[in-house]
Amino acid sequence: MSEKHLAVIVLAAGEGTRMKSAKPKVMHEMAGLPLLGHVLATASALGAAHVVPVIRHQRDHIEEYIRAFFPTANPIDQDDIPGTGRAVECGLAGLPNDFNGAVVVTSGDVPLLEVSTLDALLEAHLEGGFGVTVLSSIAEDATGYGRIVRDSSGSFTQIVEHRDATDEQLDIDEVNAGVYVFDSTLLRNALGQLGQHNAQGEKYLTDVVTIALSEGSTVQALAVEDSWQVAGINDRVQLSELSAELNSRICEAWMKAGVTIQDPASTWIDVTVELGRDVTLLPGTILKGTTSIGEGSTIGPEVLMTDTVVGAGASVVKSHVTGSRIGDEATVGPYSFLRPGTDLGADGKIGTFVETKNAKIGAGSKVPHLSYVGDAEIGVASNIGAGTIFANYDGINKHRSTIGSHVRTGSHNVFVAPITIGDGAYTAAGTVVRKDVEAGDLAMNVAPQRNIADWVLAKRPGSAAALAAEEAKN
């Protein structure tokens, strides 16, 4: 159908008390997006002219997210009248008065529903000319769910809530999934007839189906084969279960696309991550945010990487990396900590127990061991000696250091910023560099070594060291 004749209403007004959280339920994250983000991404992918999230609890927080990431959506507040029927009624108020197409209704806590499933539901609804189409599923345990009742020919007759079902109806395993397609005219008319004459004092959306049938409209229920798609989240146990299921599907999709994942059970990949062909992910790898891994790179084991771009053929082992860039054929780790602003050039190295921040490290340059590089720029093919510290903070301000190309720095150096070391320069071991070093110069702190004769014999008499010294002298 054309975009202008389709609207999607997303129910996201609930508090989600069973989450026991200060955060609204639909804003809890799964695979890099809030639950609501997954649902709105699916709704947007349908190409609907109108996407209307219905919100209430902590509305400002939710609306801020919607405005930032789904600016074409039109969030609408639910008022004090409770119930799913009232939520949809409020959502309809966010549509143009002359809208006369199909209305899809789904929930903000059902994150695995796929675009293809909604497309098929819409197609069946429109081709059959139905007033209402209900998405159902086959439940292993139907306790608490509304049952889909059919006649002897298999046609839909009604939805019966669990508490109202007969013993025979309780044996039905086909349940209402809470996803619908409505004709907008029928929906407006039926919502206007809803009452609150029930134990909960709510307006129930399922009553629209009853009204539609009583007025002669046709209703169908279509069962989704993959029941995970319509699984909702009410507490953190269910959040964990669905997160694991989604992650399993993400890993499977990447493996089919040419990525090697040695242990999918311990590998977690956000939906926003991009992986190149022949990437290898080793156990314990977690890839988050807008991370992108280039072709043929190996990540892991035990890597946490967030919002980072990795080139082709790179290797990252047992490290934490955030907001960084790692060039082609570069190596990182083990036990490295790359903080935001790190940019490691092609064939470069950030090695064992190295921390970097706001550091641009040129192609072929290496920081191999036990160092901190902050607020610095290092040229190409330079080597930073073990135990080097870039002292970038004077207690008030941060300062930058610039290290040229083909520089060789000694072990246990301290570079007191701001400082510049020219191309091809050397620094001696143990040097504290406080002044700029010209290209090709050697910087060193000259302090003659003093040996005090027989100090151990005099100051540590009787010790193992003294005995060893005496024996060596004799």
Pairwise CA distance, residues 431 & 385, whole Å: 11
φ, ψ of residue 3 in degrees (nearest 5): -60, -40
Please report, for residues 21, 28, 30, 240, 292, the alpha-carbon distance to residue 234 in angstroms, rounded to integers and kept in the order given. Answer: 12, 11, 14, 11, 32
CA atoms within 13 A on the CB side of 153: 4
The Cα 340–Cα 342 span in angstroms is 6
Distance separating alpha carbons of residues 207 and 85, to the nearest angstrom: 8
DSSP 393: B
Which residue is it, tokens 């004092």? 201
Question: Is the peptide bond prior to 301 cis by the omega test (within 30 degrees of 0)?
Answer: yes
- The separation between CA 245 and the C-alpha centre of its own chain, rounded to angstroms, equals 15
Residue 21, token pair as written in the block: 């959280």
User: Angle 115-128/35-45 helices, nearest 10 degrees?
Assistant: 50
Question: How far is the C-alpha of 306 from the C-alpha of 342, rounded, in Å?
Answer: 12
Distance CA 429, CA 20 (A): 57
Q: What is the CA radius of gyration of the chain?
A: 32
Q: Which residue in 5, 369, 399, 406 is the catalytic one? A: 369
The Cα–Cα gap between 95 and 187 comes to 13
Q: Active-site residue 369, yes or no?
A: yes
Amino acid at 65: Y
Other CB atoms closer than 10 Å to residue 206's CB: what's the count? 17
Question: Are the C-beta atoms of 51 and 36 separated by less than 8 Å?
Answer: no
Handedness of CA 205, 208, 210, 211 (dihedral sign): positive
| Partners of 469 in beta bridges | none
Active site residues: 369
